Amino acid sequence: EAGVTQSPTHLIKTRGQQATLRCSPISGHTSVYWYQQALGLGLQFLLWYDEGEERNRGNFPPRFSGRQFPNYSSELNVNALELEDSALYLCASSLSGTSGMETQYFGPGTRLLVL
């Protein structure tokens, strides 16, 4: 069974540009989560999508946004890129996140570098 996939693996942008990161969940999973791991920091929760709707977002500015498509894949958009957005962006998926006990499985991540 295929795991969570993410694309691209690496992305280089300049300040002020927009970045789009993509994620395909494990088949049968309807919840998708996005996390950021910046250098020297732990994994920080960004966004959670379930059944096509944004369910919760972390403490990040509105220029971090995303969506979930009918096939449950997801896109993370980062507008007006800043240097500190350089990080590893991780996507995770789980069965419907309605019990709080579903395990999240992570993809390999997208390494974003903002110059």
Instruction: Provide, rounded to whole angstroms, the least separation between the CB of residue 108 and other proteins.
Output: 5
In a 3-state reduction of DSSP, which class is residue 14? coil
Strand partners, 65: 77
Strand partners, 7: 22
**DSSP sequence for 90-101:** EEEEES-TTSS-
Instruction: Note whether 25 binds other proteins by CB under 8 A.
Output: no
In the shown chain, the binding pattern of residues 75 to 114 toward other proteins, with x for contact by CB under 8 A and - for none, equals -------------x-x-x-x--xx-xxxxxxxxxx-x---
- Residues 92 and 103: their CA atoms lie apart, in Å, by 9
Binds other proteins by CB under 8 A, chosen from 25, 33, 68, 114:
33
Interacting residues toward other proteins by CB under 8 A:
4, 6, 31, 33, 35, 41-45, 48, 55-56, 58, 88, 90, 92, 94, 97-98, 100-109, 111
